[in-house]
């Protein structure tokens, strides 16, 4: 998404006032020589003869550097701004990556209707409960695999047992099969992996988007 801030940054970067000096400070040009002035690691004459010699050399080569003052503080500001702009770009990228990962997560979560988009927090909560439900499925499948079919619930253990909210084995912070982690049981007949268009499913998918009390993971 292109927003005004990006426009501002680009405008700043493309500023027509950019000079060769600015390019130096922004790292776009290599330094002309190994540093004069107070840069760290720069040459500091330790004796006056050397200093005088250097002064003569300096005067031969070119006029003395402009005095450090307001101009320099302008440059410092520019450097800071440049770093800020770069950091902003990185941060934007990072958040885009995070959102991509969230989108990937949304893709593997069943939703009803199918094109409904979960919010970020809903996605995380739903994924949390979804994983828990699938784990329970496996656990109960293990437990019940030895039982004769006649002892299994008619609708299958998945619906009647595993998805019954508030079971003792539910995750510590989640007691309901929903993205909202509501402690109040309200969804008990949903097959998580492939929700169908039954009335109860629709009720479920519509209701999970509603705000609830104790709405945290």
Partner DNA sequence: TAGGCCATCTGGTCCT
Partner DNA sequence: AGGACCAGATGGCCTA
Contact footprint for DNA (CB under 7 A): 1-3, 5-6, 8-9, 40, 83-92, 94-96, 99, 119-121, 211
Distances (CA, A) of 134 to 13, 33, 151, 201: 51, 65, 22, 18
C-alpha–C-alpha distance, residues 79 and 31, integer Å = 15
**CB of 124 vs DNA, minimal distance in Å:** 10
Contact by Cβ (8 Å): 186, 212? no
Closer residue to DNA, CB minimum distance, 31 or 156: 31
Closer residue to DNA, CB minimum distance, 1 or 66: 1
Kindly report the length of the chain.
217
Mention every residue, 6+ apart, whose C-beta is less than 8 A from residue 126. Answer: 109, 118, 178, 179, 208
> Count of CB atoms within 10 A of residue 18's CB?
14
Closer residue to DNA, CB minimum distance, 148 or 211: 211
**CB of 212 vs DNA, minimal distance in Å:** 11
What are the start-end ranges of the H helices in 27-69? 48-61
**Phi-psi domain of 214 (left: phi exceeds 0; alpha: psi -120 through 50; beta: other):** left
Closer residue to DNA, CB minimum distance, 8 or 71: 8
Closer residue to DNA, CB minimum distance, 97 or 143: 97
**CB of 4 vs DNA, minimal distance in Å:** 7
**CB of 55 vs DNA, minimal distance in Å:** 28
**CB of 82 vs DNA, minimal distance in Å:** 10
């Amino acid at each position: 998404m292109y927003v005004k801030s990006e426009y501002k940054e680009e405008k700043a970067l493309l500023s027509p006032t950019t000079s060769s000096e600015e390019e130096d400070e922004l790292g776009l040009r290599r330094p002309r020589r190994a540093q004069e002035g107070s840069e760290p690691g720069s040459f500091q004459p330790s004796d006056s003869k050397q200093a005088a010699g250097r002064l003569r050399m300096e005067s031969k080569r070119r006029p003395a550097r402009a005095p450090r003052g307001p101009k320099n503080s302008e440059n410092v500001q520019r450097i800071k701004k440049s770093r800020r702009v770069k950091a902003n770009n990185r941060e934007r990228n990072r958040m885009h990556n995070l959102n991509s990962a969230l989108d990937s997560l949304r893709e593997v979560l069943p939703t009803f209707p199918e094109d409904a988009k979960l919010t970020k927090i809903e996605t995380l909560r739903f994924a949390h409960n979804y994983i828990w439900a699938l784990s329970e499925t496996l656990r109960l499948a293990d437990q019940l695999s030895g039982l004769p079919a006649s002892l299994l619930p008619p609708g299958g253990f998945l619906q009647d047992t595993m998805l019954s909210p508030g079971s003792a084995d539910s995750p510590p912070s989640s007691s309901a099969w929903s993205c909202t982690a509501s402690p109040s049981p309200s969804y008990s007949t949903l097959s998580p992996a492939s929700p169908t268009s039954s009335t109860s499913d629709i009720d479920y998918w519509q209701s999970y988007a509603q705000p609830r009390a104790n709405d945290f993971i």
